[in-house]
């Protein structure tokens, strides 16, 4: 089985909602966690 590389500080993650629009409040609540982990966030 092939596994992707682990995320590391400085990597960019994309947040999308392919099944429908995400609740903006929940997305905004998650952003500090990603930033605390040192990740860059790109909203789709």
pLDDT in tens, 5-34: 999 999 999 988 778 877 888 888 989 999
Residue 4 forms part of a structural domain: no
Q: What integer pLDDT is reported at residue 6 of this predicted model?
A: 94
End-to-end CA distance of the chain: 29
> Residue 27 sits in which domain range?
12-43
pTM metric for this prediction: 0.71
Query: Which pLDDT band holds residue 36 (cuts at 50, 70, 90)?
Result: very high
Residue 17 forms part of a structural domain: yes
Q: What integer pLDDT is reported at residue 44 of this predicted model?
A: 81
Query: Which pLDDT band holds residue 38 (cuts at 50, 70, 90)?
Result: very high
The tally of domains found in the chain comes to 1
């Amino acid at each position: 089985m092939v596994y992707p590389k682990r995320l590391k500080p400085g990597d960019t993650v994309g947040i999308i909602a392919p099944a429908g629009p995400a609740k903006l409040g929940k997305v905004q609540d998650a952003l500090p966690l990603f930033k605390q982990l040192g990740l860059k966030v790109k909203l789709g």
